[in-house]
Amino acid sequence: MGRCSHNAIGKLNELFFCVRQCTTVGSMKNSLSLLLSISFLSLVSLLLLFKSRPASLHTPLLQNSAFRSQTRLKVHVADLPRTLNYGLLDHYWSLSGPDSRIGADPDGDLRAFLSSAPRRSNPPPYPENPLIKQYSAEYWLLRDLETPEESSVAERVYDWRNADVVFVPFFATLSAEMELGWGKKGRFIKKDGNGDYLRQREVVDRIRRSEAWKRSGGRDHVFVLTDPVAMWHVRAEISPAVLLVVDFGGWYKLDAKAAKENSSSIIQHTQVSLLKDVIVPYTHLLPRLHLVEDQPRHSLLYFKGARHRHRGGLVREKLWNVLQNEPDVIIEEGFPNASGREQSIRGMRGSEFCLHPAGDTPTSCRLFDAISSLCIPVVVSDHIELRSRERWITQNSPSSSQSMMPFDLVGSSIA
């Protein structure tokens, strides 16, 4: 059955049978009862991708005649000053100190090189700082819209009247992360003295004054909010728009206020919903492992990350207590610095399965790091939303109601 044996799946099943016996948390039981099915179907995904579709991995999307024959989405890029996108990168590369949250500066060498270069890179590169890089969809989507038409997956139009959607080119994640990493501690949630809030306010005021917004009420506008705290102070004002998010974790407090009168077909203005919004992947932080480079794996299950988390992430502590002394299981504290990155590469490439429990938000880039490392993800999260849901299948679990299971999860990360 390919790289992962029936024996490995059997071991995982035994392991989580023990976990179910050792915990009394109801929601955790429901999640864990699906683990084996998730793992098996993820394994099928790996086998299907790498055995039945090898040529597609190396064939550019736009060379596919079926894709070219489809009508491409017409996208108008809203008029915003450079200071709200690439200018933010210029500012980032001019910063002298490291991100206060990680101490070391993973961009230090490149920052020094760019500062001494005779000519400015245009556009500037996106940071390698893992706290920022994981949300870099905002950068790559704008870059794609700026490529020659024959190379882009969308058709850029310069008159908003001819557009299907209006893309707002604000680097909301970079703006928020610069305030969090270089601003005064505790200032992010306030408006006074908050540079990120001032940028949010400028974007919203400019966009809402535009004729394009007035025509549709914003329903055809697209904002990239991959960071859970992006556009934090102005979300109610842009809620009619299409929001590109990695999950709905940053919206729980807003949702709770509006969900009481909500139905499956009516969206309150403070809410996010799969009826209008789009789940996009994290950018994986670990280098991609190609199938021909894969080596025998000597551990069953691997996890590296923070043990203590809030909300849905409380499940981590319970999993930790049960799994930490199990044979063939590696579970350890870690942080996305240089040493943690190397340890994660070795751990994910050396394990059959990679644990993906909820944290402060339902998902993280760990899921996509596992996929890029050919490590089968085991998801423990009650509220996770995954991209390309139309490519997921519904499977009945003996101990729960119908749940969405991954069928083609591999190859879903950006860049």
What is the tens place of the pLDDT at every residue in 201-243?
999 999 999 999 999 999 999 999 998 889 989 988 998 999 9
Question: Predicted confidence band at 63 (pLDDT cuts at 50, 70, 90)?
Answer: low
Hey, how many other C-beta atoms are within 10 angstroms of the C-beta on 334? 16
CA distances to 12, 36, 54 from 2, in Å:
17, 17, 15
As a whole-number percent, the residues of the chain with pLDDT over 90 amount to 38
Summary mean pLDDT of the chain: 76
Mean of pLDDT values over 166-195: 90
Helix axes 172-182, 86-94, angle to 10 degrees: 20
**What distance in Å separates the CA atoms of residue 231 and residue 102, rounded to the nearest whole number?**
23
* Segment of 165-174, 316-325, 360-369 carrying the highest mean pLDDT: 165-174
What pLDDT was estimated at residue 405? 32
CA distances to 206, 207, 228, 249, 385 from 232, in Å:
17, 17, 8, 13, 20
What pLDDT was estimated at residue 49? 39
Mean of pLDDT values over 267-277: 69
What pLDDT was estimated at residue 165? 96
CA distances to 294, 312, 406 from 38, in Å:
22, 19, 7
Question: Predicted confidence band at 394 (pLDDT cuts at 50, 70, 90)?
Answer: very low
Tokens representing 200 are 């949010």
Tokens representing 233 are 């102070």
> 182: Cβ–Cβ under 8 A, 6 or more apart, which residues?
95, 97, 99, 100
Range list of H helices, 2-107: 6-22, 26-32, 35-47, 65-69, 86-94
What pLDDT was estimated at residue 4? 57
Question: By the 8 A CB rule, do 41 and 407 touch?
Answer: yes
Question: By the 8 A CB rule, do 178 and 91 touch?
Answer: yes
pTM of the model: 0.75
CA distances to 23, 37, 257 from 238, in Å:
42, 38, 17
**What distance in Å separates the CA atoms of residue 177 and residue 202, rounded to the nearest whole number?**
17
Question: By the 8 A CB rule, do 221 and 77 touch?
Answer: no
Give the 3-state DSSP-derived string for 302-344, with helices as H, strands as E and coil as C. EEEECCCCCHHHHHHHHHHHHHCCCCCEEEEECCCCHHHHHHH
Question: By the 8 A CB rule, do 279 and 251 touch?
Answer: no
Q: Which of 9, 7, 6, 32 is nearest to 21 (CA)?
A: 32
CA distances to 75, 217, 241 from 159, in Å:
9, 18, 19
Peptide bond into 123 cis (omega under 30): yes
Res 71 pLDDT > 50: yes
Mean of pLDDT values over 114-134: 87
Q: Which of 125, 129, 124 is nearest to 99 (CA)?
A: 129
In three-state secondary structure terms, 365 is: coil
Per-residue pLDDT tens over the stretch 347-373: 999 999 999 988 777 788 899 999 999
> 365: Cβ–Cβ under 8 A, 6 or more apart, which residues?
134, 282, 283, 284, 285
Strands of the sheet with 329-333, listed across from one edge: 329-333, 299-305, 351-357, 376-380
In three-state secondary structure terms, 173 is: helix
